[in-house]
Chains A and B, each alone.
Chain A
């Protein structure tokens, strides 16, 4: 894993990727810092963080687009997968390299809150609040990186990886709005849940290559869900919104913004990232076993 991590970090700095990422990261954060804090004379750095969340749309794809797709294009994946290293180590190495670069970005821009802390005249900066904000901000970035890494393993084209990562992060950022406009009726929720069960069944079928298992899974799931609907239809009220709401990475950030470090939020972020790392490992393994 260390070997992969070292190699990835070196690649970030021998190509333009690392510099582009850090440059844009500092530039955009700096812009929000000027407009939110300096010009308005306001010492809450978390406003800068909230404002600059939008840059994840562009910067996370820069970090992750080449990670696996470039290996596939250069055929260097053969070298990696034929070496005595576990797939999990390869994925973790690449993931951690991106996380470290992201951390370097945060450390560089940490100069901004320091400036606030030293020079804010009227009101002092709340250090605890800022630290909570930075932790939330970091964890959210890590989630997006895991999504980006997963997407890059599905294609050997960097541009496709970048565009898909952009789209998925956009959806994740917009998830609150989508959830709000989702239909709230229990029948719509039933259909939504059934569709979800069907999708999971298809995934089960693809991974196990066993049509019987897939069908049994779909039938059982459909039966349970329909039975629940007949017995207690009220649990389906607003189900779509709450399910989609779970995916809202942004909602979790609200706590950090307010200076609250919530264990459940941290667990959420870690679960979310682990899930996508698992998907990445699984996709590589499956392709080798297909």
Chain B
């Protein structure tokens, strides 16, 4: 397990990570979410002992990263954001080198190597030079490297970036499987990934923990209570129609183009309002072009926290409709 207390990292007057505290237990997968430059990688680099903290403490399975760094590092597997590969080694040579520096017992190596290669799907690449691998395979070898020694704690910095959709699903399943008996922290800026894999989520912004909760709690209020709807009428008219209904709390305009308005409708008390929306517009014979659940709540929480930085993404769904 990992215990982080009051962790701070300062570069001169700039505070990259500001007083972060959390614990991750055994068998738990924690997700680190945050925009670029929020301090995710800095935090992970500190937890793995690559850089030091300005203040605060990190304990990995009870070993302090400052006082007992060698033992703490023995508990860890780290997959950095850039695959740390030696271009002039074959994948097999590379993994054998990692076995050496992680001081894995000679007798365990052969089976462990086979297991890791099977898990990450790199067996056919063992004899290739690392510099000749595609980005996806580099990423997988980097994951294999973190698994060497089968450490109790895995820290994975954006493990699925650069993979194709099939591989992403494979790796997610692998992480879930590994997480049954291990402590895993993954960082990501892909929300669906975090909600698919993680038990708990920490949202980091500007070096601080902006929110920390379980994935269920983030999406507790029920997604059917927030709907995106496109109707063939003006925004004011649609708003009037909907405001006649008690169950509707708020109506926002997302987009209005060529006589079609796209609205976001929020229900009172988390009710399912899909039928109400249908009934409201059907009465006035206004066609509904589209009706779908609004983004899940994790995404909403995330966007609220880092407001103003994600406007281009917000526009995307409405552009797709045309």
A80:B101 contact, CB within 8 angstroms: yes
Q: Inside 8 A of A75's CB, which chain B residues have their CB?
A: 80, 82-84
Q: Whole-angstrom distance between the alpha carbons of A86 and B69 in the complex? A: 9
Inside 8 A of B48's CB, which chain A residues have their CB? 78, 82
Report yes or no: A15 in contact with B88, Cβ–Cβ below 8 A. yes
Given the complex of chains A and B, what is the CA–CA distance between A11 and B101 in angstroms? 16
Given A79-B145, A288-B51, are A84 and B97 neighbors across the interface (CB < 8 Å)?
no
- In the bound complex, residues from chain B placing their C-beta under 8 Å from that of A6 are 97, 100
Q: How far is the CA of A86 from the CA of B71 in the complex (A)?
A: 11
Task: List B contacts of A15 (CB < 8 A).
Answer: 88
Q: Which residues of B contact A2 (CB under 8 A)?
A: 100
CA distance A245 to B7 in the complex (A): 49
Question: Which size class do A's interface residues fall under?
Answer: 20 to 34
| A187 located at the interface, meaning its Cβ lies under 8 Å from any Cβ of chain B in the complex | no
B86 touches A74 (CB 8 A): yes
A233 to B97, CA, bound (A): 59
B86 touches A11 (CB 8 A): yes
Contact yes or no, A78 B74, CB < 8 A: no
Give A14 to B98 CA distance when docked, in angstroms: 18
Check A7 against B97 for contact (C-beta < 8 Å). Answer: yes
Q: Considering the chains assembled together, what is the distance between the CA atoms of A79 and B49 in angstroms?
A: 11
Complex contact A78–B88 (CB within 8 A) = no
Indicate whether A83 reaches chain B with its CB closer than 8 angstroms.
Answer: yes
A81 within 8 Å of B (CB atoms): yes
Q: Using a CB-CB cutoff of 8 Å, which residues 48-96 of chain A contact chain B?
A: 74-86
A74–B50 touching, CB < 8 Å: no
Q: Known: A15-B88, A288-B52, A289-B52. Contact between A79 and B71, CB under 8 A? A: no
- Are A82 and B88 within 8 A (Cβ)? no
Residue of A nearest to B102 (CB): A83
Known: A3-B97, A11-B86. A84 touches B102 (CB 8 A): yes
Closest to B101 in A: A83
Contact string, B41-53, partner A, CB cutoff 8 A, digits 1/0? Answer: 0000100111110
User: Given that A82-B78, A84-B73 are contacting pairs, would A76 and B84 also be in contact in the complex, using a CB cutoff of 8 Å?
Assistant: yes
Complex interface bits, B71-107 against A, C-beta within 8 A gives 1, otherwise 0: 1011010101011111111000100011011110000
Docked pose: A288 CA to B89 CA in angstroms: 27
Q: Closest A residue to B47 by CB, please name it.
A: A82
A residues in contact with B70, CB < 8 Å: 84-86
Are B85 and A84 closer than 8 Å at their CB atoms? no
Inter-subunit contact B84/A84 (CB<8 Å): no
- Tell me the complex Cα distance, A214–B145, Å: 43
CA distance A38 to B93 in the complex (A): 45
Indicate with 1 or 0, residue by residue over B96-123, a CB within 8 angstroms of chain A CB atoms. Answer: 0110111100000000000000000000
A79 near B73 with CB under 8 A, answer no
Tell me the minimal C-beta distance from B143 to chain A in angstroms.
13
The complex places the Cα of A229 from the Cα of B222 at a distance, in Å, of: 83
- With both chains docked as a complex, state the minimum distance between the C-beta of B10 and any C-beta of chain A, in angstroms: 10
Interface residues of A in 186-224 (CB under 8 A from B): none
- Asked whether, in the complex, the Cβ of B103 is within 8 Å of the Cβ of A11, the reply is no
Besides A4-B101, A74-B85, A82-B76, 20 more A-B contacts (Cβ < 8 Å) are: A2-B100, A3-B97, A10-B93, A11-B88, A74-B86, A75-B80, A75-B83, A76-B86, A78-B45, A78-B80, A79-B98, A79-B145, A81-B50, A82-B49, A83-B98, A83-B101, A84-B71, A84-B101, A84-B103, A86-B70
Q: Which residues of A contact B (CB under 8 A)?
A: 2-4, 6-7, 10-11, 14-15, 74-86, 288-290
B residues contacting A by CB (< 8 A) are 11, 45, 48-52, 70-71, 73-74, 76, 78, 80, 82-89, 93, 97-98, 100-103, 145
Closest 9 CB pairs of A and B: A3-B100, A79-B84, A84-B73, A75-B82, A83-B101, A289-B52, A76-B84, A82-B48, A84-B74
Would you give 28 A-B contacts (Cβ < 8 Å), ordered by A? A3-B97, A3-B100, A4-B101, A7-B97, A7-B100, A11-B88, A14-B89, A15-B88, A75-B83, A75-B84, A76-B85, A76-B86, A78-B80, A78-B82, A78-B84, A79-B84, A79-B98, A80-B101, A82-B49, A83-B73, A83-B102, A84-B70, A84-B102, A85-B70, A85-B101, A86-B70, A289-B52, A290-B11
